Structures are given as C-alpha cells and as structure tokens.
C-alpha cells in the first residue's frame, strides 16, 4: 500500500539563490563593491545611532577647548568653537545621508515615472516632454541647484529640493530610452488589450522592467547628492549652522585655520570623500551585477 506523503511528491525545486548565497557571490565577485557596501552600512549605522556612540553634543560649544589638536579626549580635535570634530562628523553623516537618500530616491522616482510615461505615450507628449528635459539638461547640476536655492532659500529641506530637481531630467532621459524598447514588447500590448488603465500599465507593467537602470542611477545619485550638498553648504547656500554638515564644517574655520589647525580642514573632507567613494564603488559593482550589457571591461 503506497501511502503518499508530502515527502514523496516533493520535486526538488531548482535551487533558488537565497539571500545569503547572493550576498556571498556578490562579495566574491565584487570585492571592491562589497567594501563600498560595508562602508555605506557602517555610515548608516553611525548616523542612526549617533546619539549613543558620541560623547559630546554636536552643537556643544566649549571656549576652553578651541582648536585642540587630536588627542585622547578629542580623537579628531576640535574646531574654532571648541566643538568635537568626530562628533560633528558622525552627526554630519546623518545630514549627508538624509539629504543624499531623499534627493536620490525622490528625484529618480519622479524621473522614472515621467520617463516611462513619456516613452509609453509617445507622440506629441513625448516630444514636448523631451524638449522641456533638454532645457533642464542645458545647465550644469550645481547651477540649477543654485537657482533653486535662490528661490527657496537655504536650509536642509530646501537643499533637498534643490538637489532633487536636477536629478529628475537625468533619470527620465535614461529611463525613457530603456522604456522605449520595453514598449514594443507584446505584453504591453496585451495589457492594453485587457483594458488596463494607463497608470496601471505604466506602474505595474513597465516600471518594474526598468528597475535595473533605475537602481544604478539611484546609487550614483546618492554619491552625487552628498557631494552637491557639501558644495552648496560650503558656499553658504546649503545647510545652515549650527546643523552639523560636512561641507559646512569646511566652510567655517577650515580655511582660516588651515595652517595652524589642519585637522579642521582635513577630517570633514575625508568623510565626504569616503562616503562618495563608498557609494561609487557599490554603485559600480551593482551595475556590473544588474546589467551585464553595461558591464565594464575588467
């Protein structure tokens, strides 16, 4: 009497790459990218738990400890207001990552939807939309961001908007060219034949298929956004004192005390470089994994 149990009928499913295996493969094939990923994760954790891992307050001014060189009590020294630089760098990570992630995600998401819509509708809409994008793309990023800051004024939220807006056309342009190819694939026609709404076809059928270029753009944008935020803050047009931000730390005393207290100028810049470096490494690796067509020669 054969009794069928679940075990007997189980067909060995083709091994689906689990998360840990995917991760292991990534680390093995993309050691530099993995290193970048680790730095990014450490930064995110430091930003989240900034309150617990620092001894000082980021805005705590101490006139007894102005421009103290790196020592045990102040591992990276203090600035001209006696604020601990390490503390401000850790809290600065919060500002940088917040601005970076929000600007990159919002900018590329809006660009994604607009780019796909432009490809989907085609015709006059596409033509006009492309010309509008051309206008935006006629300015270097920082000029556009500066113009937006001129309108909205400085401050963290406005900096985010200023950085987000230039990202939209850049992402839309790339996504559109990918979406144009997808539009010709029969399943889009099938979806249309089923009577689905435009919105549904765009969001459910086309957007998921341009995810690879989208993710690549997002990681590239985070690094760019961090740099742009630092530049704007450095120019005095970004995040304002006393909020700890890397670019701002370089603006204040950094140049003035460059010779007598070089640590004020060195460490915040190092933090910016390391963050952008990490995101770039991670983004490059992600591109290699996600998009074999774009794979750079190695």
Which residues here bind another protein, judged by CB under 8 A? 131-132, 134-136, 138-143, 146-153, 223, 227, 230-231, 234-237, 247, 250, 254-255, 258-259, 262, 265-266, 268-269, 272-277, 280-281, 284, 296-298
Which helix or strand (DSSP H or E) is residue 232 part of? helix 211-234
User: Contact, 40 vs 281, CB < 8 A?
Assistant: no
Q: How many CB atoms lie within 10 A of CB 228?
A: 24
Q: Closest approach of Cβ 170 to another protein, in Å?
A: 13
9/296 with CB nearer another protein: 296
20/296 with CB nearer another protein: 296
Q: Closest approach of Cβ 296 to another protein, in Å?
A: 6
Q: Is the peptide bond before 253 cis (omega within 30 degrees of 0)?
A: no
Nearest to 118 by CA among 138, 105, 133, 135: 133
Q: How many CB atoms lie within 10 A of CB 208?
A: 10
Q: Closest approach of Cβ 63 to another protein, in Å?
A: 25
Q: For the residues of 134-181, what is the DSSP string, one character each?
A: HHHHTS-HHHHHHHHHHHH-SSHHHHHHHHHHHHHHHHHHHHHHHHHH
175/265 with CB nearer another protein: 265
31/122 with CB nearer another protein: 31
Give the whole-angstrom CA distance, residue 3 versus residue 269. 70
179/237 with CB nearer another protein: 237
Q: How many CB atoms lie within 10 A of CB 257?
A: 17
143/211 with CB nearer another protein: 143
Q: Closest approach of Cβ 121 to another protein, in Å?
A: 20
């Amino acid at each position: 009497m054969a009794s069928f149990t679940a075990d007997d009928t189980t067909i060995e499913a083709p091994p689906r790459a689990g998360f840990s295996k995917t991760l292991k493969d990534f680390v093995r094939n993309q050691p530099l990218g993995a290193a970048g990923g680790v730095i990014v994760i450490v930064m995110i954790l430091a930003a989240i738990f900034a309150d617990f891992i620092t001894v000082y307050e980021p805005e705590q001014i101490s006139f007894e400890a102005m421009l103290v060189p790196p020592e045990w009590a102040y591992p990276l020294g203090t600035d001209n207001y006696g604020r601990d630089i390490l503390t401000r760098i850790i809290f600065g990570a919060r500002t940088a990552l917040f601005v970076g992630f929000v600007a990159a995600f919002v900018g590329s998401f809006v660009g994604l939807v607009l780019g796909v819509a432009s490809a989907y509708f085609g015709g006059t809409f596409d033509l006009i939309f492309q010309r509008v994008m051309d206008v935006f793309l006629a300015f270097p990023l920082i000029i556009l961001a500066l113009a937006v800051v001129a309108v909205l004024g400085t401050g963290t939220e406005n900096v985010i908007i200023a950085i987000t807006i230039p990202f939209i056309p850049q992402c839309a342009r790339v996504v559109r060219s990918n979406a144009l190819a997808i539009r010709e694939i029969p399943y889009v026609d099938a979806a249309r034949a089923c009577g689905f709404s435009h919105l549904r076809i765009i969001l459910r059928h086309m957007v998921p298929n341009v995810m690879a270029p989208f993710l690549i753009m997002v990681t590239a944008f985070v690094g760019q956004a961090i740099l742009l935020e630092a530049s704007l803050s450095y120019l005095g047009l970004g995040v304002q004192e006393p909020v700890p931000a890397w670019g701002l730390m370089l603006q204040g005393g950094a140049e003035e005390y460059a010779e007598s207290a070089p640590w004020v100028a060195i460490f915040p810049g190092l933090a910016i470089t390391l963050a952008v470096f990490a995101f770039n490494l991670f983004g490059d690796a992600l591109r290699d994994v996600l998009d074999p067509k774009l794979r750079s020669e190695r």
